[in-house]
Structure 1
Amino acid sequence: MIRSTTRAAAVPLLLALAGLAGCAAGPGAGPAAEPRPVPAPAVGSPGFPPSAARARRQLAALRVAWGEHGETYERGAFGETWSDETDAPGGRNGCDTRDDVLRRDLSGVRVGDRNPCVVLSGVLRDPYTGEELPYSFRRASRIQTDHVVALAAAWRAGAWAWSPERRLAYANDLDVLLATNEETNHEKGAKTPDKWRPPRREYGCEYGRRWTGIKAKYGLAVTPPEKRALEELLATCG
């Protein structure tokens, strides 16, 4: 009798729990949203950065001039936020630019189940220092997105005369961007290679190639000391 009573009492309890579980989704709840398709990888332009030989030719052809209009620079002139709505390499794939950079530059990347654009974790081998840095979505500011030729440096070199659309494209061009650690990014700031170089000397060649390639791609000028510094960096390529 005791077992039978216990079994009978359990039935209404199970039905009540099932009803609560059904109500948890709220009225009118439908099936769970389907996961978004994995976006196409964004890596930038094919063949970028240029080879050392090509970079040397590009550097020789760059306009040499002192910076202008530095006092009028404003970050907002390049767009207020990351944008996917540009025709720059990697644009229009459904992910914002920062997530594209993280997916490209980090190893062991884990992305969101529902939104595969969002990088939850991974490891960065910082190109400027060689350090291995863990990335976590919850502490995202530890790894930042660096404009190799900083926006302020591009402004002084000619971007002050560009249209807003061209400046937005520059700010979101994956060829211009690298993931790096917060401290190094702040130390670099808007300095040109005559005032700052990566602490990791082995990266000097690629840094010179990237910097020169960006200046050539966008028709930006170099100052005389900047050009000499780039020649020195490219000389390390062998």
Structure 2
Amino acid sequence: MKSPLRAVAALTLLLTFGGCDLDESAPVAEVEVADPGVTQPESDEPEPADTEAVGPTPTAAALGDAATVLAALPVKGRAPMTGYDRAMFGQAWMDADRNGCDTRNDMLAAHLTEIRLESNGCVVTSGVLADSYTATVVDFVKGHGALVDIDHIVSLGNSWATGASFWSMQQRAALANDPLNLLPVDASANRQKGDGDAATWLPPSKSYRCEYVARQVTVKQKYGLWVTPPEAAAMQRILVACPGEPLAEDLAQLPTATDQRVPEPTPTRTPAPAPAPEPAPAPAPAPAPEAPAPVYFANCTAARAAGAAPVRVGDPGYGRHLDRDGDGVGCE
């Protein structure tokens, strides 16, 4: 029997909405009103889940394998190469991570073995490269430019034609110095590649092609670049042979190779026997490190055309001739 304080309300709804009457023959709904003097037992039912909760931002690793990410990349035709120049990607081999060494020597130190350095601790004078492109071993010696190049996995020309032409100078410089997109390789193979994409050039070593294409896909996904129809078809053809090929590891900064960095040994001389030893000659001064040639905008018009204005001290393309008031900001 119900409490005398409980009431059953028989509600017959005779309201009309938009000219349509409710069905009066429908059963009457009984509404039970709770007695305010009686404590209601707590429900054992779990609280409903928050359906609007937002999960963590997906990372590259959570997006799937290389083939899955490739299928999600935009496919478009090539943009015109009008205005393309290496200088549009900033100074060649800047010190992107501010460790005192330029990007080229950081990459050599990270990927070569048995390296030797000049006394400044940055410039790699020799080392051994296990080349991924040709599956050969290259004995690198500084000054022999035909031995080892630092390749952009997604070439700068290809990136220009698939989206980078619309970027700022700073964005292009970030791509050009990102270790995810850089690899020391056999110079002759790199020069055969040129600005080619996967449709026009692949590494001679077939065992490296899956990893090479997966790395290109990772770079394209990271920087929002598109692929051309022939490029996408070539990438798909390679990845079919290696299902589940993972994306490349995205490095937050340049690799370090402190463990490998062995200073040049100090040369020793054995003096010839003589009645009176001659004083040892003074050691020759260490050669100055090779500084990368600076790249400046010719004028503020060029800086604005590249989307880099205003240009500040330390930015790619900054020069004192652009900073007339000497406050560190040019083309204001």
Tell me the TM-score normalized by structure 1.
0.73
| Higher radius of gyration, 1 or 2 | 2
Structure 2: state its 5+ residue gaps: 1-59, 244-332
Task: Assess if the C-alpha contact under 8 Å between 1:142 and 1:182 holds in 2.
Answer: yes
- Mapped partners of 2:215, 2:89: distance in 1: 20
Check if 1:168 corresponds to 2:173: yes
- Structure 1 pair 51–205 and aligned structure 2 pair: CA distance change class (3 A): farther
Deviation at 1:186, TM superposition (A): 0.8
- Secondary structure of the residue aligned to 1:71 is coil
Task: Assess if the C-alpha contact under 8 Å between 1:145 and 1:180 holds in 2.
Answer: yes
Check if 1:107 corresponds to 2:113: yes
List per-residue Cα deviations over 1:155-213 (Å, max 9, x = no partner).
00000000100111111111111111221111000111011111000001101111100
- Mapped partners of 1:53, 1:185: distance in 2: 29
Structure 1: state its 5+ residue gaps: 1-48, 86-90
- Mapped partners of 1:234, 1:51: distance in 2: 18
Q: Give matches, 1:68-83, under 5 Å.
A: 68-83=79-94
Which residue, 78, 94, 100 being the options, matches 2:100?
94
- Mapped partners of 1:50, 1:201: distance in 2: 25
- Secondary structure of the residue aligned to 2:76 is coil
- Mapped partners of 2:162, 2:238: distance in 1: 20
For these two proteins, the number of residue pairs brought into alignment is: 184
4+ residue stretches of structure 1 with deviation over 3 A? 49-53
Match of 1:63 in 2: 74
List per-residue Cα deviations over 1:34-59 (Å, max 9, x = no partner).
xxxxxxxxxxxxxxx96995212211
Which residue, 116, 120, 126 being the options, matches 2:121?
116
- Mapped partners of 1:58, 1:140: distance in 2: 36
Which residue, 189, 206, 212 being the options, matches 1:207?
212
- Mapped partners of 2:163, 2:199: distance in 1: 18
- Mapped partners of 1:135, 1:199: distance in 2: 20
Which amino acid letter does the alignment assign opposite residue 211 of structure 1? Q
Check if 1:154 corresponds to 2:159: yes
Higher relative contact order structure (alpha carbons within 8 Å, sequence separation ≥ 6): 1
- Mapped partners of 1:120, 1:182: distance in 2: 16
Higher helix proportion, which one?
Answer: 1
Task: Assess if the C-alpha contact under 8 Å between 1:123 and 1:134 holds in 2.
Answer: yes
Tell me the TM-score normalized by structure 2.
0.53
- Secondary structure of the residue aligned to 1:194 is coil
Match of 2:132 in 1: 127
List per-residue Cα deviations over 1:49-74 (Å, max 9, x = no partner).
96995212211111100110213211
